Amino acid sequence: MTKPPWLHFENVWLPYAQMKTAPLPLPVVSARGARLRLADGRELIDGIASWWTMCHGYGHPHIVAAVEKELRELPHVMFGGLAHEPGYRLAARLAALLPGDLRHVFFTESGSVAVEVAMKMAVQFWLNQGERRTKFVSFRNAYHGDTFLAMSVCDPEEGMHRMFRGVVAEQFVAELPESTEKARELDRLLEVHRREIAAVIVEPLVQGAGGMRFHSLEVCAELRRLCERHDLLLIFDEIFTGFGRTGSLFACEQAGVVPDVICLSKALTGGTVPLAATVASEKVYAAFLSDDPEAALMHGPTFMAYPLGCAAANASLDLFESEPRIAQAQAIEAQLREELACCAHMPGVREVRVKGAIGVVQMERVVDALGLRAKFVEKGCWIKPFGDVVYLTPPLVISASDLSALTRAICETLRKPLD
């Protein structure tokens, strides 16, 4: 492929990449629906939805129109002391969609920062009541972001931040309560350390970047029970699972569990503009109401409630109302189950698992991610394995035939590994 003149590594530093050996990325010039168009005219079907963001596909006209209109009217205005309708309306809509009394919305611009804010809220929730609790409980294989506090609740051994052990804050890392015995262990940990612990943080139903691992609804319910028993806050990080990915609008709905704080980002704007939200329950919010100005939540990003992002998110929520997105996620689940089943008994494959619009081929060992990726590209597919998983999280609007092309590419490639 002839390389466009701008594509070189003189100035750009890529995410999670060893720049000495990284191959040049594929130049993308445009995208529509579930397809990326490359500079040389080839098209790739996107099996990843740009890191799980692009739920309505690329270039959905309703979102494009909303962002264009906002860009002309009010692309940005500070949220401190000034107000704009898209932000206030989005907060009200999120509050109406979220379960229970999760209705106090704090906007930021990225998932990691939404997690930072949730953790800060939890610590200050206790400080405002005269208690100093600085620790968090998180779980093996968790991933909550790349900033320092978020890194501290990622899996400290298997996670991608393991080299920062001893540098980031030490937290309690537990096993998910997936059995009675593990639940008892967690119960004991919480019993012993409850006075130090501000909150328990978890990705409900699916741990994403830590290996696309699923757990049951019962695990979420057990975490809620344990937090009640020990009077701890429960934070749900739904940055990956939110907005239809697991087959319901939010994973916590399926579990019938209401956390004290929930973090949203990724698909919040349909993948078009960076935006995130940390949403607190009445109980958490109430702990910040005081005649003492010091009790206020001390946070406020420059681009807080970025109007273009809020306009995009409002348009995205319109689409969840007007188009059958959740039904599409459920149809993707059925198709992934059927079409990935062929991989289950291949050599090197441990299992195939599917939840909502997430299909995972769990390999026995770490894969040659770059080698596999290149094979998929030859077949016209953008699929990005990591660690020991090959997975699909397509845009929820993907056609059945494009989804079949993705699953076929996986089955054919894994059947004949790198030759």
Ligand X SMILES: *Cc1c(COP(=O)(O)O)cnc(C)c1O
Residues that bind ligand X in the complex, under the rule CB under 6 A: 110-112, 115, 143-145, 203, 208-209, 237, 239-240, 265-266
Give the active site residue among 46, 58, 155, 237. 237
Active-site residue, 237 included: yes
Residues 164 and 151 sit within 8 Å (Cβ to Cβ):
yes
Q: 198: helix, coil or strand?
A: strand
Residues 168 and 230 sit within 8 Å (Cβ to Cβ):
no
Q: Which residue is nearest to ligand X (CB)?
A: 111
CB neighbour burial string for 5-35, b if at least 16 within 10 angstroms, e if fewer = eeeeeeeeeeeeeeeeeeeeebeeeebebbb
Closer to ligand X by Cβ: residue 213 or 266 = 266
Tokens for 228, please give them. 């009640």
Closer to ligand X by Cβ: residue 117 or 239 = 239
Closer to ligand X by Cβ: residue 266 or 355 = 266
The total number of residues written for the chain in this structure: 419
Q: Show the DSSP H helices in 74-156 as ranges.
A: 85-97, 111-127, 148-152
Give the active site residue among 46, 58, 143, 375. 143
From the list 370, 377, 383, the residue with the least C-alpha distance to 343 is: 383
Angle between helices 325-340 and 307-322 (to 10 degrees): 70
From the list 83, 86, 96, 91, the residue with the least C-alpha distance to 63 is: 86
Closer to ligand X by Cβ: residue 105 or 414 = 105
User: What is the C-alpha to C-alpha distance for residues 397 and 58, in angstroms, rounded to an integer?
Assistant: 10
Residues 404 and 331 sit within 8 Å (Cβ to Cβ):
no
| Neighbouring C-beta atoms of residue 76, cutoff 10 Å | 15
User: What is the C-alpha to C-alpha distance for residues 324 and 92, in angstroms, rounded to an integer?
Assistant: 22
User: What is the C-alpha to C-alpha distance for residues 264 and 241, in angstroms, rounded to an integer?
Assistant: 9
From the CB of 414, what's the least distance to ligand X, in Å?
25
From the CB of 240, what's the least distance to ligand X, in Å?
4
Closer to ligand X by Cβ: residue 237 or 260 = 237
From the CB of 153, what's the least distance to ligand X, in Å?
10
Type of residue found at 171: Q
From the CB of 206, what's the least distance to ligand X, in Å?
9
Active-site residue, 16 included: yes
Closer to ligand X by Cβ: residue 136 or 342 = 136
Q: 294: helix, coil or strand?
A: helix
Q: Is 157 exposed, middle or buried (0-12, 13-18, 19+ CB in 10 A)?
A: exposed
From the CB of 96, what's the least distance to ligand X, in Å?
23
Q: What's the DSSP call for residue 206?
A: E
From the CB of 215, what's the least distance to ligand X, in Å?
14
Closer to ligand X by Cβ: residue 160 or 346 = 160
From the CB of 396, what's the least distance to ligand X, in Å?
17
User: What is the C-alpha to C-alpha distance for residues 313 and 381, in angstroms, rounded to an integer?
Assistant: 28
From the CB of 111, what's the least distance to ligand X, in Å?
2
Active-site residue, 143 included: yes
From the list 277, 141, 279, the residue with the least C-alpha distance to 208 is: 141
Closer to ligand X by Cβ: residue 288 or 303 = 303
Tokens for 116, please give them. 């930072």
Give the active site residue among 46, 155, 266, 355. 266
Which of the residues are catalytic? 16, 143, 237, 266
